[in-house]
Amino acid sequence: MTPLKDLNVVNPDQSTQTNSNLHGRIWDPVNECLNRETLVQLQTSRLKETLLRVYRHVPSYQKKFLQAEIRPEEVRSLEDLQRLPFTTKEDLRLSYPYGMFAVPMREVVRIHSSSGTTGKPTVVGYSRHDLQTWTELAARFMTAAGVTEDDIVHIAFGYGLFTGAFGLHYGAERIGASVIPMSSGNTDKQIMIMQDYRSTALVCTPSYALTVADRLEKSGIDPRSLSLRVGLFGAEPWSEEMRREIQERLGIVATDNYGLSEVMGPGIAGECQHRCGMHLFEDHFIPEIIDPDSGQVLPAGEVGELVLTTITKEAFPMVRYRTRDITRLDYSPCPCGRTSVRMAKTMGRSDDMLIIKGVNVFPTQIEEILFQVEGCEPHYQLVVERVGSLDTLEVQVEVNDRIFFDEMKKQRAFIDHLEKRFLSALGVGAKVKLVEPSSIPRHEGKANRIIDRRP
């Protein structure tokens, strides 16, 4: 194994050395910097244990494995994982609420739940050991993002069934930072607390970070007068353009992290200082990328749906869970010294992926272009129709002061410009239609911006 003296160990359990270098600190150098061979051994043995446990304790897994005619003992290598059936959100719903727990309830110490925008929510449980793991992994990615014991971490995720707030709360405490459990809402109060308590790290969704920026602007408060220096944003896909805007308007470093409650919550992956993808904690999760239509595993580097298998979770293990998030995995070395694979920013949901004239289009790509074209806030909606045998895409954009021109030729030129950008970026033409402000329905949380009228 790599000698540890080269690395910046910050976990008090591992060393007292707290020097910082160019590449930032590493919370758990032993486990974050395993060489591939050791990691594969570790993953294989943990995978085997997990499969044996779920087969024994979770009836729905046992049934699925029997149907696929595979017994856990037949899985001898990571490659064999492909032979196992997927787990989907639907499976979780069918076993609502506790059907997929792999331990008795007396060993479950925490319950969380996913948003459940369609039908029943999904319920997830944590054993005491699971919570410890979650806390450690949150400490890992928060350290990678640059949070230290000197930070005042302002958590503006809602505290409740949602995993976001608690995950980062305990991670920050573990690091030794000062945590402000602010919760969501009341932006004016959030800003007052940021000013008075001198919050240095902001935890929220990327869109809320922009809401804060808007409010600061409106109230005439210079963002630079605040103490904020870093943002840890997650829980929704966001574009590089959005990152640029947040960084510019709030004067902070904006980092991305990844998690979903069905698998654990935040702490599955997160960016280091180099921000070239999110380090995925492979000693706890095995990632695969599949073709969302065929279910086939794709070669390394290809874009597809992320599938995750948990290999240390006790209460709620997941085998080949289809996240529906579209991303890509990068196994090339990272200058920070962590050896784990890095996942790209999620590009959208496989459910949201539109195939227009045979071309894959994600709403996030459209959002990115709307951001690039100055002043255009992403209140938009996509309408897909079929005219004859041809698909058509219409992007409806709400007009605002900055993109409204009194002269028709300027207004037309703006629309033409947008249409050209869409064509070059998406590889498929889109018609831009300007609509009146507030005419596109707003959705709480995850926006549904697609209207597909194709038969």
Partner 1 sequence: MKVEQISIFIENKSGRLAEVAKVVGDAGVNIRALSLADTSDFGILRLIVDRTDIATAALKEHSFTVSKTEVVAVEVPDRPKGLFSILEILDRHGVNVEYMYAFVERCGANAVIIFRFDDLEAAIRVLTENGVTVLKGERVCSM
Residues forming beta bridges with residue 325, ordered by sequence position: 349
- Minimal distance, residue 254 CB to partner 1, in Å: 30
Dist. CA 140–CA 159, nearest whole Å = 21
Among residues 246 and 432, whose Cβ is nearest to partner 1?
A: 432
Measured from the CB atom, the residue of 331 and 405 that comes closer to partner 1 is 405
Structure-token match 């970070």, residue found? 209
Min dist. Cβ of residue 453 to partner 1 (A): 18
- Residue 189 engages partner 1 in binding (rule: CB under 8 A): no
In the complex with partner 1, the residue whose CB is nearer, 67 or 438, is: 438
Return the residue of 1, 387, 390, 408 that touches partner 1, per CB under 8 A: 408
* Binds partner 1 by CB under 8 A, chosen from 76, 120, 412, 443: 412
Q: Tell me the closest approach of the beta carbon of residue 256 to partner 1, in angstroms.
A: 33
Strand runs labelled E in 138-264:
152-155, 178-180, 201-204, 230-233, 253-260
Residue 417 engages partner 1 in binding (rule: CB under 8 A): no
State the nearest-atom distance from the C-beta of 410 to partner 1, in Å: 9
**Least Å distance between CB 420 and partner 1?**
18
Residue nearer to partner 1 on the CB measure, 62 or 411: 411
Q: At what angle do helices 128-145 and 163-175 cross, to 10 degrees?
A: 70
Cα–Cα distance, 102 to 327 (Å, whole number): 29
Q: Quote the CA–CA distance of 434 and 373 in Å, as a whole number.
A: 14
Nearer CB in complex with partner 1: 78/434: 434
DSSP labels, 42-105: HHHHHHHHHHHHHHHH-HHHHHHHHHTT--GGG--SGGGGGGSPPB-HHHHHHTTTTTT-SS-G
**At closest approach, how far in Å is the CB of 404 from partner 1?**
5
CB of residue 370 to partner 1, shortest distance in Å: 16
> Cβ 362 to partner 1, closest distance in Å?
25
| Residue of the chain from 221, 399, 425, 450 that contacts partner 1 (CB under 8 A) | 399
Contact window for partner 1 (CB under 8 A) among 9-17, 24-32, 120-128, 398-406: 398-406
Nearest to 366 by CA among 357, 375, 377: 377
Binding map of partner 1 across residues 353-372, x = CB under 8 A, - = no contact: --------------------
Please say whether the beta carbons of 157 and 115 come within 8 A: no
> Is the CB of 213 or the CB of 434 nearer to partner 1?
434
Q: Say if residue 41 is exposed, middle or buried (CB neighbours under 10 Å; 0-12, 13-18, 19+).
A: exposed
Shortest reach from residue 399's CB to partner 1, in Å: 5
Nearer to partner 1, 196 or 436 (CB): 436
Tokens read off for 338: 């962590």
Which of 159, 247, 411, 440 is in the footprint of partner 1 by CB under 8 A? 411
Supply the minimum distance, in Å, between the C-beta of residue 389 and partner 1: 23
| Cβ-based burial of 25 (10 A; exposed 0-12, middle 13-18, buried ≥19) | buried
As a whole number of angstroms, the distance between CA 251 and CA 106 comes to 47
Which is nearer to partner 1, 183 or 411 (by Cβ)? 411
The two beta strands, 321-327 and 304-310, are antiparallel
Q: Interacting stretch for partner 1, rule CB under 8 A, among 109-117, 164-172, 297-305, 405-413?
A: 405-413
Establish if 407 lies at the interface with partner 1 (CB under 8 A): yes
- Rounded to whole angstroms, the Cα distance separating 149 from 444 reads 34
- With CB under 8 A as the contact rule, the residue among 13, 401, 442, 444 that binds partner 1 is 401
Site track 229-258 with partner 1 (rule: CB under 8 A), x = hit: ------------------------------
Question: What span, in angstroms and rounded, lies between the C-alpha atoms of 406 and 408?
Answer: 7
Q: Which of 157, 149, 171 is nearest to 206 (CA)?
A: 157
**Which residues ranging from 424 to 453 are in contact with partner 1 (CB under 8 A)?**
433-439
Amino acid type, 438: S
Taking CB under 8 A as the binding criterion, the range among 57-65, 103-111, 212-220, 399-407 that sits at the site for partner 1 is 399-407
What is the DSSP code string of 151-188? -EEEE-SPPSSSHHHHHHHHHHHHHTPEEE---S--HH
Residues that bind partner 1 (CB under 8 A): 399-401, 404-408, 411-412, 433-439
